[in-house]
Chain A
């Protein structure tokens, strides 16, 4: 196989492009996708790559950039505000889990240094998996979600001291170039070295404070987009070089640089410039990790690996459960918190590779660690589903089962389903004009907030026939369907159309696509949620361009009528053809249809009203 730089690059990129999409489709997430890709091209399967270690050194820049971004995101004030949950809960999680895992490592015959490092590394959880799972389930706002977020934030920060302190645990000769042993550093004394390190840190801080701003301003003045990218990479690579030269961890240095720059006005600029490189190099890093897994070593001890995966996950979950309860979470929330964070995370790969490179962990130990981490990440979605389906209901009894729909004791002429951004405005407007509406929503928190202000929103899913009946759909005159999920909107509209034909239905639509479908359901009104505000922005833009307000407003009304008519017309002709195409293709077709319809509007001259030009021409006698 071609082991040139170009050949290697093609192999790695191809692996990423083929396997990562597959893994995402299987619900495994991109990190596991990269790992699998690495395994496939690694020495034990296709053997397409040479020394993964070479690539690893290069890919570690991705880790460096990631920590730069973590630093940029870290606002000291926010950290301070959340210091209780972050440092209390997060710190106890990390140290507690490490403390339980340490003796297990010793029992397995590891020296204490390796057992300690391993314990701390395996205590890390996966930000990517945990946050994605929680937000998919709509749990980010819950107590479990908030606690998870705090712990993950602490782990992000904790990586820094771990990177700084791991070399102190080194008992083996390091394999990676961490600066030791090959520079003039060996020839100077400890005092000079310390001074040198302090000086380097001072350089990073003061450069971040005083040099970056004028530099970025000069770059901005050129107006060249690519110079921003160059400047951002210069900062990251420059700090990396400086830190390596004085024997400090480059990740630590760039993290520091990130924190210094977090409050600068170039924060977003730097972030967006570094982000793609970070993503790509981190992907490369995970590929390299996958390629470096020593399969024969892992396969030789399947029982050990399997019991480690289960044991580590269980221990992590138990520690989290205890902490959650100690921090006064309800029992169901504590269980969710525990299962959300019980996997080992992507930071573990970073730390394992670092620990191996700096001589803390023996290669065979690190390999087992990588395998355990990867497997626990792969199992994480499964364990979440199991806990959600089996443990939660059983553990807490019927009281914890999904909240029962409220008994509804109001019967108004109007039912508003969905009391979110859309339903609130509609319902408040009605109420301000003397028409109370029966309000339904499925978000308990929202309902509680309204209750605090003396309002009444009933908990319940309006796509259930019994609930609509209970809400008085049999006697009401109007049903406003204002929930934000387009699928639910359709369900509710369909249900109401069939069972309560006397109801006038006003339906919220996300965009044109949803509007087409609702028009077919014979609803009284379809309201695209952003159309009116977008059009008002357009009116104001016209006015700023010098169009008189009345003309701009007229133009908007003409445009809106035209657009709404085109939806009616297209809905009739939509037919089967549109049903065959999905997703973005359908959206493109709709945009095309809308733009084609716009050609029917004469720009600039909506009509002759208020226009005396024709009369002037007549008066001058040059009329037609």
Chain B
């Protein structure tokens, strides 16, 4: 019997380069059917770097130079996360606060992200009907994402239409698989638009 391969600790990609950088923000993928599939869907795509933020910085102490280098080495930025309290998981807010420095990402001389496409991939527990002005949450996803759209705008990024998967609590396995495939297709298209 051959022993299983050696276990490795996750280390944040150091010198990764490529077309698309995907920042994945979910603290425990074991417990998320949807986000686990979404992450697996991008696992082996050339030119796409998936960077799991909670694995890299479990104590939220983000290494700023390293994150900035990753951004500089890719042509597009993607956020992949569930919607927590109408916003991102905490680590993405921390990432904004620390990595998007004045004079680097915005403000005078802040050109590092200028012109790069920005795409958000979101899962929500509630259905699409709940995210309407006359729905349960009284706000649309577009309205809720306004601060992030502004972030992209202030940094000169080109914000794309977000990829939203609604109602994950109720989706069955085949629907989740279809959604993951759609997500993969969307990312491939983004990559090809940059390299092709």
The chain A residues found within 8 Å of chain B, CB to CB, are 474-475, 477-478, 500-504, 524-525, 553-554, 557-558, 561, 607-610, 614-615, 618, 623-624
Contacts and interface: CB of A to CB of B under 8 A. Distances in A.
B194 interface: no
Contact of A477 (B7, B9, B63, B109): B7
Contacts of A618: 102, 107-108
A504 B4 CA distance: 11
B101 interface: yes
B103 A557 contact: no
A421 B103 CA distance: 48
B12 to A, nearest CB: 11
Given A554-B61, A614-B103, A614-B107, A501 B6 contact: yes
Given A504-B8, A609-B97, 16 more contacts: A474-B3, A478-B7, A500-B3, A502-B3, A502-B4, A503-B6, A504-B9, A557-B59, A557-B61, A607-B98, A608-B103, A609-B64, A614-B102, A615-B102, A618-B102, A623-B108
A492 B64 CA distance: 37
B5 interface: yes
Given A475-B3, A561-B63, A609-B64, A524 B9 contact: yes
Contacts of A554: 61
Nearest to A503: B6
B9 A608 contact: no
Contacts of A610: 97
B101 A607 contact: yes
A32 B48 CA distance: 73
Interface of B: 3-9, 59, 61, 63-64, 97-98, 101-103, 107-109
A502 B3 CA distance: 7
Nearest to A611: B102
Nearest to B5: A502
B188 to A, nearest CB: 34
Give the one of B3, B4, B8, B64 with max A CB within 10 A: B3
A19 B107 CA distance: 73
Contacts of B3: 474-475, 500, 502
B19 to A, nearest CB: 28
Nearest to B64: A607
Contact of A524 (B5, B8, B107): B8
Contact of B6 (A475, A504, A614): A504
A614 B107 CA distance: 10
A609 B6 contact: no
A462 to B, nearest CB: 19
Which 3 residue pairs are nearest across A and B when measured between Cβ atoms?
A557-B61, A502-B3, A504-B7
Nearest to B65: A607
A474 B101 CA distance: 49
A554 B102 CA distance: 19
Contacts of B107: 614-615, 618, 623
A607 B63 CA distance: 10
Nearest to B107: A618
B10 to A, nearest CB: 11
A180 B194 CA distance: 107
Nearest to A613: B102
Contacts of B8: 504, 524
A266 to B, nearest CB: 46
B30 to A, nearest CB: 14
B54 to A, nearest CB: 16
Contacts of B9: 504, 524-525
A230 B3 CA distance: 71
Contacts of B101: 607-609
A609 B7 contact: no
Contacts of B102: 608, 614-615, 618
A285 B105 CA distance: 76
A553 B108 CA distance: 29
Nearest to B59: A557
A550 to B, nearest CB: 10
B7 A524 contact: yes
Contacts of A502: 3-6
B4 A477 contact: yes
A608 B98 CA distance: 8
A522 to B, nearest CB: 10
20 contacts: A474-B3, A477-B7, A500-B3, A501-B6, A502-B5, A503-B6, A524-B7, A524-B8, A554-B61, A557-B59, A557-B61, A608-B103, A609-B97, A609-B98, A614-B103, A614-B107, A615-B102, A615-B107, A623-B108, A624-B109
B51 to A, nearest CB: 17
A150 B9 CA distance: 51
A475 B64 CA distance: 39
A607 B66 CA distance: 13
A553 B61 contact: yes
Nearest to A506: B9
Contacts of B7: 477-478, 504, 524
Contacts of B103: 608, 614
A239 B64 CA distance: 67
Contacts of B59: 557
A519 to B, nearest CB: 14
A624 B7 CA distance: 49
**B61, B101, B102: residue with the most chain A Cβ atoms closer than 10 Å:** B102
A477 B9 CA distance: 12
Nearest to B96: A609
Contacts of B108: 618, 623-624
A561 B5 CA distance: 28
A554 B108 CA distance: 26
A567 to B, nearest CB: 15
Contacts of B4: 477, 502
A411 to B, nearest CB: 13
Contacts of A553: 61
A607 B109 CA distance: 17
A614 B106 CA distance: 12
Nearest to B97: A609
Nearest to B61: A557
A557 B59 CA distance: 10
Contacts of A524: 7-9
A607 B98 CA distance: 8
Nearest to B4: A502
Contacts of B97: 609-610
